[in-house]
Amino acid sequence: MTANDSASEGEVSLADEPEVRQALAEADRASVASVVAGHPSSPLAWAELADLADSEGHSIDAFAYAAVAVEFAREQLAASGWAPGAAVPWSDEPNRAYLRALDAQRRAALALGLEGQAARLAEELASADAEAPARIASEFTPTQLMPIVASAGLVEPATGLESHTGEPLAEPTAVDAAGED
């Protein structure tokens, strides 16, 4: 299945969570945990928290948050007829929470030295959607979660042209055809 294909009738999907997506879109890094607290059974909220912990180098937290996201996603998928090993297509956007959580848990497992667990998670991710690992790697990077916000008083906003203080810049010199000044 390609990213442009839609889910076929027999495929299962996680529930769409527009209120969670909206809350996450409005949240900053410090308030993602509040979104989880407001939607404690949301695989998407937990997956976002796992990605955030991973981006900050908190492998234990990332592993735990991702495990919760995966568990909630598996419960939802199973309730709609899914069996482990069956397809969970990336092309169906709500499913991305499960796929991203599997990958976040895999990355955290690697960081923690749990190679066997990481390999099992990689296999589960690939069996759910073979294109998902590449899509996650290209579309979900830790820097996406890092808005650039200046701390109060530490950075002055630029306004117009700034004056240059210090040594004047040297004028470029022309080189003649022989390579001399």
**Residue 63: inside a domain:** yes
**Residue 4: inside a domain:** no
**Residue 30: inside a domain:** yes
Residue ranges making up the domain that contains 41: 18-145
**Residue 122: inside a domain:** yes
**Residue 46: inside a domain:** yes
The predicted pLDDT at position 90 comes to: 94
Q: Which residues of the chain have pLDDT under 70?
A: 1-10, 140-181
The predicted pLDDT at position 12 comes to: 85
Q: How far is CA 78 from CA 27, 81, 84, 93, 103, in A?
A: 30, 5, 8, 18, 20
**Residue 86: inside a domain:** yes
Q: What is the pTM of this model?
A: 0.72
62's tokens? 């990332």
**Residue 73: inside a domain:** yes
**Residue 49: inside a domain:** yes
The predicted pLDDT at position 70 comes to: 97
CA separation for the pair 131, 116 (Å, rounded): 22
Q: What is the tally of structural domains in the chain? A: 1
The predicted pLDDT at position 119 comes to: 97
The predicted pLDDT at position 157 comes to: 42
Helix (H) or strand (E) holding 3: none
The predicted pLDDT at position 147 comes to: 37
The predicted pLDDT at position 178 comes to: 57
CATH number at residue 41: 1.25.40
